Amino acid sequence: MTPRLISPEYAELNRQLHDDKPNYGAHASDSAESVLKICRLNGFKIVLDYGCGKGTLKPAMAALAPDISILEFDPAIPEKENLPVDPVDFVVALDVMEHIEPDYLDDVLSTIAALRPKAVMLMIANQPAKKTLPDGRNAHLIVEPGSWWLQRLDKYFLTITTREDGDHFLFIGQPK
């Protein structure tokens, strides 16, 4: 069975939000130095930016570390909607998981784990978004504390480290 990563209706709502809001999905570059540090410490050379949005991590990483390849996937961006078929070392999903449709979360997590990266980094907002979807819903479909996320993630990943700062829950782990 093909994993359900996003419904066609929700993909369209996200496309509209990306078109209407220039800064929606445009903040991954803020995490480039953290991603680079993890890559350097672990020898990671191929990174998948899962839910890459506007794709700001790729140029930020290229400026810092041209030797590290950044692959992009976002099911709401037509030119970025195909998952890589080749292995990746590291999957990052920066402010993505809270946007996943709740009924699709297990499929998304199992898909990321099935990529068999050496590690994953999930930065998850745990408060409502300032943006709303075109249908009026808050852009963060899942607003839960780190303890809730840990229970969900434990099915697919071994925990390396976590941190919760009030606005975000950071999870770094590896597939089971």
**Quick one: pLDDT band at residue 5, thresholds 50, 70, 90?**
very high
Q: How far is residue 17's CA from residue 163's CA, in Å, rounded to a whole number?
A: 29
Is residue 16 scored above 90 in pLDDT?
A: no
Domain that holds residue 99: 8-24+37-175
29 domain residue, yes or no: no
Write out pLDDT tens, residues 135-175: 999 999 999 999 999 999 999 999 999 999 889 999 999 99
How many domains does one find in the chain? 1
95 domain residue, yes or no: yes
Output the domain CATH number for residue 72: 3.40.50.150
Residue partners of 153: CB distance under 8 A and separation at least 6: 109, 122, 159, 171, 173
Is residue 66 scored above 90 in pLDDT?
A: yes
CB atoms within 10 A of CB 169: 24
17 domain residue, yes or no: yes
Is residue 118 scored above 90 in pLDDT?
A: yes
32 domain residue, yes or no: no
Q: How far is residue 114's CA from residue 14's CA, in Å, rounded to a whole number?
A: 25
Is residue 36 scored above 80 in pLDDT?
A: yes
